[in-house]
C-alpha cells in the first residue's frame, strides 16, 4: 500500500473584497493539503481561471460585480470535464437553498472562523479521496427523492441537520421551526415546500402549521367536543386539523368522525 500523501487541493479564491481574499489566503496557508493557485475579484475573471487552471476547489463569494457568485456556480456546473468543488463564502444566508441544489460542498457565512473553514475543506478532501479510490470500493447509492438534510442559519454559520433527526416542524409566519431534540432552528421556507421535501414514510402533516415525525407519535386522543390530537413521546399533544384527519386515520386506523 502506498504511503504517498494525496495531492494538495488546488484552490481558487473568488471575492471582490481584497481584504477578504487576503484573509482566505492566510487561512488556507495554515491548512495542510491546500494550495491556492489563483484569485479573482469578479465572476468573469474567475470563469476564465477555472478553464485555465482547472482547480479542485473554489472558495466563492456571492455578491460580486460583472457576474455574481451564483451565476458563476451555475456556469461552472455546466462546464465539461473536471469541475471544482464549490464552498460559498458570503455574508448572505438567503441563497443557501439554491446553493445546495447545485450542489455546493458547503456554505459559510462571513466572518468565517478558521476551524469552520477547516471542517468544510476537510469534507471536500474526504470526498475527493472517495472519488479517486478504486471503483470496486465505492458502492453506488440510489438518490432519494426526498431531502436527507437541511442547512439552516445558526449564529454566524449554517448548520447541517439530518432530516431523520427532525422531531417536529412548526410554522411561524414566513419561517418553519425545526425541532431537533432539545434544540430548534428556523428555516425560511413555506410549510408546503417543506412537506414536499420530507419523506411521507417518515413524516406526517397533522395541522396546517405542524408536521411530525411518525415515530414520535405514541397515540391519538380526542376531547369531548370531538377534536382529535396526537400524543408525542414527550407527552405533548398536537392538534389534528380536520383536513389531515384522513392521513392520521390511515396511520392509526382508529380515528372516527
Give percent above pLDDT 90 in the chain.
Answer: 45
Q: How far is residue 197's CA from residue 121's CA, in Å, rounded to a whole number?
A: 27
| Whether the model pTM is above 0.75 | no
Task: Check: CB of residue 42 under 8 Å from CB of residue 67.
Answer: yes
CA 243 to chain centroid: 31
For 86, phi then psi, to 5°, come to -120, 125
pLDDT at 4: 53
Q: How far is residue 98's CA from residue 16's CA, in Å, rounded to a whole number?
A: 21
Give percent above pLDDT 70 in the chain.
Answer: 84
Q: How far is residue 207's CA from residue 149's CA, in Å, rounded to a whole number?
A: 23
pLDDT at 82: 83
- Convert the pLDDT of each residue in 116-143 to its tens digit: 899 889 988 887 765 444 444 334 343 4
Greater pLDDT, 257 or 21: 21
Greater pLDDT, 143 or 111: 111
Task: Check: CB of residue 212 under 8 Å from CB of residue 230.
Answer: yes
Confidence of residue 86 (pLDDT cuts 50, 70, 90): very high
Amino acid at each position: 500500500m502506498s504511503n504517498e500523501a494525496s495531492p494538495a487541493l488546488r484552490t481558487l479564491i473568488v471575492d471582490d473584497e481584497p481584504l477578504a481574499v487576503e484573509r482566505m489566503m492566510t487561512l488556507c496557508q495554515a491548512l495542510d493539503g491546500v494550495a491556492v493557485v489563483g484569485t479573482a475579484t469578479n465572476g468573469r475573471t474567475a470563469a476564465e481561471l477555472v478553464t485555465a487552471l482547472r482547480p479542485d476547489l473554489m472558495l466563492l463569494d456571492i455578491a460580486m460585480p460583472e457576474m455574481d457568485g451564483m451565476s458563476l456556480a451555475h456556469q461552472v456546473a455546466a462546464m465539461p470535464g473536471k469541475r471544482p468543488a464549490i464552498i460559498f463564502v458570503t455574508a448572505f444566508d438567503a441563497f443557501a437553498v439554491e446553493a445546495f441544489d447545485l450542489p455546493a460542498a458547503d456554505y459559510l457565512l462571513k466572518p468565517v472562523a478558521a476551524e469552520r473553514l477547516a471542517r468544510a475543506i476537510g469534507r471536500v478532501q474526504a470526498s475527493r479521496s472517495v472519488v479517486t479510490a478504486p471503483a470496486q470500493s465505492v458502492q453506488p447509492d440510489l438518490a432519494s427523492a426526498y431531502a436527507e438534510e437541511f442547512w439552516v442559519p445558526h449564529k454566524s454559520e449554517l448548520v447541517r441537520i439530518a432530516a431523520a433527526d427532525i422531531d417536529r416542524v412548526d410554522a411561524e409566519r414566513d419561517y418553519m421551526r425545526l425541532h431537533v431534540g432539545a434544540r430548534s432552528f428556523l428555516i425560511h421556507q413555506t410549510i408546503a415546500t417543506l412537506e414536499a421535501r420530507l419523506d411521507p414514510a417518515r413524516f406526517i402533516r397533522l395541522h396546517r402549521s405542524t408536521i411530525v415525525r411518525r415515530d414520535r407519535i405514541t397515540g391519538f386522543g380526542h376531547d369531548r367536543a370531538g377534536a382529535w390530537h396526537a400524543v408525542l413521546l414527550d407527552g405533548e399533544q398536537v392538534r389534528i386539523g380536520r383536513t389531515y384527519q384522513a392521513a392520521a386515520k390511515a396511520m392509526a386506523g382508529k380515528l372516527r368522525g
